[in-house]
Structures are given as structure tokens and as C-alpha cells.
Amino acid sequence: MSIIVQKFGGTSVATTEKILSAAKKAIKAQQEGHQVVMVVSAMGKNTDTLVALAHELMERPPAREMDMLLSTGEQVSVALTAMAIVSLGHKAVSLTGAQIGIRTDNAFGKARIISISTDRMQKLLDDGNIVIAAGFQGIDEDFNITTLGRGGSDTTAVSLAAVLGARCEIYTDVDGVYTADPRVVTCARKVSHTSYDEMLELASLGAGVMHSRSIEFAKKFNVPVHVRNSSVDNAGTIISTISEDPSRGVSGAAVTLDEARVTLTGVPDKPGSSNAIFSTIAQANITVDMIVQDAGTDGLSNISFTVPSSDLAPTLDAVQPIVEQLGIQNISHRDNVSKVSVVGIGMAEQSGVSDRMFRALAEENINIHMITTSQIKISVLVDRDQAMDAIYAVHNVFKLDKQNPDAVPAESQQATTAVDPAAAANELQGLEELSITEISLDSTQASISIQGIADVPGIAATIFEKVAQQDIVVDMIIQSYLDNSELASLSFTVDRNDVDRTLEVIRELESEVPFQQLSSNPAVAKLSVSGIGLRSHTGVAIRMFQSLAEAGLNIEMINTSEVRVNVVVDDSQAAVGLETLKQAFADVIQPTR
């Protein structure tokens, strides 16, 4: 018999009335012949209320006690949901994370799932019960209650669907996944389909509709996820291997408001510097987000990165000793910044996506502090008070409110085959462990670096428009900005055959866009590690930096995304670099399904 997991978020179980309506949905699915597992969140804003209570007592409550406290929210709603089902004349049993057997590590507040036992749930389902599972919680080896991080009930739902070989429905307070947060961008449009990769990026870039780790599970175990409105019977959005419009350069936009930037200037440009910096930050349990490293000049490079604002103070504490140890000239930071990103799986095949984004921002007089790109996303860092204008500007320029009438219909797209639940169950051990699918080398690129450009709106737009006009496809772009100097630097890669033409374009632009120095490396190699959940496993970038440093390789450029970390090195080091990474990740590499 087929199993459906139905997850109801906080607003969808905010009152007993809403709980009854959720219960009816589950009963209906059961009557249609499915076995049903419900995953419920805490009622309404109950988790926030519990957090506030803890903070009335202390600023930084012990993480273990916090998890003990927060898990109670879901315990209330599972019991009430079971009662609602019983009151409607059906059989239901509620279970906490521990009772299901959701084993996690002991990272309180952001625990990762190690294994899930299905026996008890399956037996209850076979006995005709609707099983109601508490979202967002698990138990560690020592029987401590753990939580998976805010929004983590989505991850509970998708992981249960994965191990039960079930379909997954996510009921929430909007109609599905939109091109941007519909509460922020009023003209955002609901999409019919979105691919795992697009959703992974969007979720990690600020689209709070799905917990990003839930999409890692969905992708890893090929679980189709159907996001729907709990109060209106609409079509919703299917998250699977299929995209609404794979040809579209940009399919969604997102903003993360509370970012902080740290810039290290005058970093000795030698193997091991990035490793020393980022491994120290990782040891402090801080996840670094955008990382930008300039191609160095005079043996010194500049590294900028962002962290969540709330992690700024501990980050500065953590890097201070390294600043002294490496002899880094200066460290500066800025707290009032936000990250605005666009995502699209068609982006890699198109030229002219980035320059349209940069031009749209320039037209709103928005200055870009940092740029990072990956195959399927472009992120820029802007002043926080311009973040809303920025997301509107990019949403408009890519006409995200309009559907493309020529898009290949979802039905005609090639879906990858579903995963055999038995095979998924065999992989129960280490459910959320790192999974690297590919280590690759691209030896077709050259890098160009422009140092000392005025840091004013429109510079990136002007440069990349001119480059795109020549039909030159730009791959990686990074821009960093130095406090104190009002100057920015821009590095990017193009096909080796295009490097001379690109340099010419930039030289021709010099009167419009003055710069201090233009340099290029006609043959660089891009080494990439691809997999699932690379950002939440901060260790990936560190492991790359560390192994490359030990092999004596110097990294020229870095960029990161949810599904891939790329580093650019000189082409003469390509073969050694590839071999080094293969060895460094030998224990975690798994072929794609």
C-alpha cells in the first residue's frame, strides 16, 4: 500500500479548528487507500514564545535545555492532532522523535539525523492508524532530546518519506513555491514545478518556505515534494528533478537580510592561508556564506566573506589570532548588509544574465559590495536598507511574474527514475552524512582580474554588458570591495579562446571605468567538488583548502554554492589538484543515482 507523509506547519495547526481540518485531510488520504503519516509543527508561533521565555531568564541558555524546551511545542500539537482524528472516529497514534527512533548527533539546536527506524511506524500503519510524528526533533545516543534547527519539521517530513518510500506533501500558509517570498514581493508568481537544485539554492539563500536540509534529503533519495496551501485546495508546487522552465536563465530570487561582511586585506598569498582562516571559523561552529578571494597582487590577496549577523562577534573573536599569526594587514567588517540572489538552472548556458542583474541594481542606484556566482546562482551583497528595492529590481528585470509560454511542459521533461525504497533503507546509516557525487576539472578557462575600480553603482553592469555584447560567456564572477579605499576589485573567468577579446573590451572601457591594474592568467583550471548539502557541511570547503594547501597549491579564486564548491588554480597545477581532491574525498564519494 502506498504511503503519504503530510506535513503541517505552525500556521496550519495554529488552532484546534485548523488541527481538525488537517486531520480531515489525513483521513481523506487514508480513505483513498493510502497509509498516512502526519508530521506536525508546534502550534502557531509557539516555538517563538518558548524561545522568548528562555531569554527572559538568560541571554544564552544552555543548548541542551533549549532543545528540551522547544521540543515541547511539537509534543502538544501531535497529541491534539491524534485527539482530533480519534474525535472524527478514526485511529491515530502520536509519536515523539524519540519514540519513532529518529537518532541524531548531539549538536543541540542543529542536530543532524543519523538514522530512523521504520518498524514502529510501519506496524502502527499496518494496524490502520494514522501516525502523527512530532516535527523537528530527535534523540541522541545518550537519550537527550535534540532539535534539527528552526523550520526543521520539513526535514522530519522529507526524511520520513525517504525511509518509508513515501510521497511527501507539505501543507503551509501559501499556495506553493513562488518566484520570491510572496510576502515581500507582492507580484511574485507561484511556480508549478521547481527542481531540487533550484529549491536547494533558493532555500539556503533565504526562501524560508522549505528548510534547506529537507531538500538535501529529497534530492538524495529522490522524494517528490508537493508544497500546498493547507486552507485552499490549489495545485501547489512539485519539487522534483523537473523544473518549470529549464531554459529560463533565472527562475527565482531570494534575500537574506541579516548578513555581516568581514574583509581581510593584505593576506599573504600562499598555500594554506584560506585554510587557516576558514578552519578556525568552522571550529567555532560558524557557517561562512559568501567567500570571495581576489587574485593576489604583490604576494598579498584580500579575502572577504559573510556570516549571519548574529555570528559576527564570535567570528571576529575567532579570526583575531589568525590575523596576528599570518601577519594579515587589516581586518574590517560591516554589519548592515543583505544578500540578494537569483537562481536558475538555465543560467549556465546563457550569456547576459549577470549583466542584466547588475544593470537593474545600478538603475536603482544600488551599490554592490560583493558578488559571487555559481553555475545556477548569482548573489550580491548590498546595504540592508536597499535590500527590498534590490529584490524588486531583480524580480522585475527577469520578468519572474510572467510565465514563459514557450517553456517545455513538465510532462515532456525527462524525470530521473524513482529510488527504490529498499535501497534507500539500506542507506539509513548516516542519513545526513556528506555525499559527494563528483570531483571534476575544467581546463578551458582563463581568469581576468581588474584591481582598483571605483566602488560606485553600475560598474559591474557596464563591464559585463560590454563583455556579453561580444558574446563572451563569463563563468565565475567574484567582486570584493575594500573598506577604507573606496575601491573594488573584480575577477572572473572566461573561455581561454576569449581572453584576449575580453581584455580588449576592458581596455576600451578604461575611460568609462577607470582601474588601477588589469591582469590575466591565460590558463587556469577550475576544480570542483559537487554533492549535496555542501554549505551546511562547512567541512567541505575546509577539506578542499587543506588538502590543496598541503599539496602546495595556491588558490586564485573560490566560489561556493549548495551543490558545488569551485576553486581556480593555475593550469600547471590542474592534474595534481584533481588527484589531491580525489584522495581527500575518497571516503565520501558516491556515484549519483
Give contact residues for Mg ion (rule: CB under 5 A): 9, 151
C-alpha cell, 247:
531554459
Contacts for 100 with CB less than 8 Å, ≥ 6 apart: 116, 117, 120, 121, 133, 160
Q: Which three cell numbers stand for residue 185?
A: 514581493
With contact defined as beta carbons under 8 Å apart, do 81 and 133 qualify? no
Helix (H) or strand (E) holding 436: strand 435-454
To the nearest whole angstrom, how small is the minimum distance from the Cβ of residue 202 to ligand ADP? 6
Print the binding letters for residues 110-139 with ligand ASP: x by CB under 6 A, - otherwise: -------------------------xx---
Residue nearest to Mg ion (CB): 151
Q: Taking the complex as a whole, how short is the minimal distance between the CB of residue 41 and ligand ADP, in angstroms?
A: 6
CB of 110 to ligand ASP, least distance (A): 12
The piece of 28-36, 105-113, 150-158, 296-304 that touches ligand ASP (CB under 6 A) is 150-158
Which of 40-48, 53-61, 189-197, 445-453 is the region at the interface with ligand ASP (rule: CB under 6 A)? 40-48
Q: Which residues of 466-496 are buried (b: 16+ CB within 10 A; e: fewer)?
A: bbbeeebbbbbbbbbbbbeeeebbbbbbbeb
Nearer to ligand ASP, 77 or 435 (CB): 77
Task: Kindly state the smallest distance separating residue 34's Cβ from ligand ADP, in Å.
Answer: 21
Q: Residue 557: which of 392, 452, 442 has the closest Cα?
A: 442
Interacting residue with ligand ADP among 22, 80, 168, 174 (CB under 6 A): 174
Q: Using the rule CB under 6 A, which residue among 40, 116, 157, 180 binds ligand ADP?
A: 180
All three cell numbers of 122, joined, read 510501519
Per-residue binder mask for ligand ADP (CB under 6 A), 360-399, x = binder:
----------------------------------------
**Binding to ligand ADP (CB under 6 A): which residues in 193-232?**
207-209
- Does residue 230 touch ligand ASP according to CB under 6 A? no
The reply to whether 153 sits near ligand ASP by the rule CB under 6 A is yes
Angle at 246 between CA 244 and CA 247, to 5 degrees: 125
Q: Applying CB under 6 A, which part among 144-152, 243-251, 322-330, 333-341 lies near ligand ASP?
A: 144-152
Strands 300-308 and 291-293 turn out to be antiparallel
Comparing CB distances to ligand ASP, the nearer of 51 and 323 is 51
Report if residue 152 touches ligand ASP, rule: CB under 6 A: yes
Size of the site for ligand ADP (CB under 6 A): 18
Question: Which value, in Å, is the radius of gyration of the alpha carbons in the chain?
Answer: 24
Q: Does 151 interact with ligand ADP (rule: CB under 6 A)?
A: yes
**Closer to ligand ASP at the Cβ: 104 or 386?**
104
Smallest distance from Mg ion to CB 394, Å: 24
Shortest CB 421 distance to ligand ADP, Å: 25
Q: Is 512 strand, coil or helix?
A: coil
CB 92, min distance to ligand ADP, A? 21
- Parallel/antiparallel/unpaired status of strands 474-482 and 435-454: unpaired
Does residue 51 bind ligand ASP (CB under 6 A)? no
Work out whether 243 is an interface residue with ligand ADP (CB under 6 A).
no
385, with CB counted inside 10 A (0-12, 13-18, 19+), is: exposed
The answer to whether 328 contacts ligand ADP (rule: CB under 6 A) is no
Measuring CA to CA, which residue among 99, 69, 103, 65 is closest to residue 82? 99
DSSP H or E stretch at residue 66: helix 63-87
**Cα distances (Å, whole numbers) of residue 487 to 132, 457, 476, 493:** 57, 12, 20, 21
47 contacts ligand ASP (rule: CB under 6 A): yes
Among 13, 36, 42, 288, the residue binding ligand ASP under the rule CB under 6 A is 42
Least separation in angstroms between residue 153's CB and Mg ion is: 7
Complex with ligand ASP: residue 41 or 372, whichever CB lies closer: 41
* DSSP 8-state symbol, 420: P
Return phi, psi of residue 498, to 5°: -100, 0
Q: Using an 8 Å Cβ cutoff, are 381 and 368 in contact?
A: yes
Relative to beta strand 130-134, strand 35-40 is: parallel
Pick the closer one to ligand ADP by CB: 21 or 144: 21
> How are beta strands 517-532 and 435-454 bridged, if at all?
antiparallel
Residue 531 makes contact with ligand ASP by CB under 6 A = no
Grid cell in block for residue 283: 571550529
Contact flag: residue 181 with ligand ADP (CB under 6 A): yes
Q: Please, are residues 128 and 185 in contact by the beta-carbon 8 Å criterion?
A: no
- What is the smallest separation between the CB atom of 289 and ligand ASP, expressed in angstroms? 20
Note whether 171 binds ligand ASP by CB under 6 A.
no
Alpha helices for 232-311 (secondary structure H):
273-283
Of the residues 136, 178, 278, 492, which one makes contact with ligand ADP according to CB under 6 A: 178
Instruction: Determine how many CB atoms are found less than 10 A away from the CB of residue 137.
Output: 27
**Does residue 177 touch ligand ADP according to CB under 6 A?**
yes
Assigned C-alpha cell, 525 = 583550471
Residue 178 is classified by DSSP as B
CB of 165 to ligand ADP, least distance (A): 24
β-pairing, 102-104 vs 113-116, is antiparallel
* Binds ligand ADP by CB under 6 A, chosen from 182, 268, 346, 457: 182
β-sheet bridge partners, residue 524: 445, 570
| Among residues 6, 22, 30, 73, the one that binds ligand ASP under rule CB under 6 A | 73
- The listed partner (ligand ASP, Mg ion, ligand ADP, none) that binds 182, CB under 5 to 8 Å by sort, is ligand ADP
Closest CA to 464 of 544, 378, 546, 390: 378
Grid coordinates representing 337 are 548588509
Interface pattern 5-24 for ligand ADP (x via CB under 6 A): ----xxxx------------
C-alpha cell at 573: 597545477
DSSP, res 152: T
Q: Report the SS3 class of residue 29.
A: helix
Residues that bind ligand ADP (CB under 6 A): 9-12, 41, 151, 172-174, 177-178, 180-183, 207-209
Contact residues for ligand ASP (CB under 6 A)? 9-10, 41-42, 47, 73, 135-136, 150-153
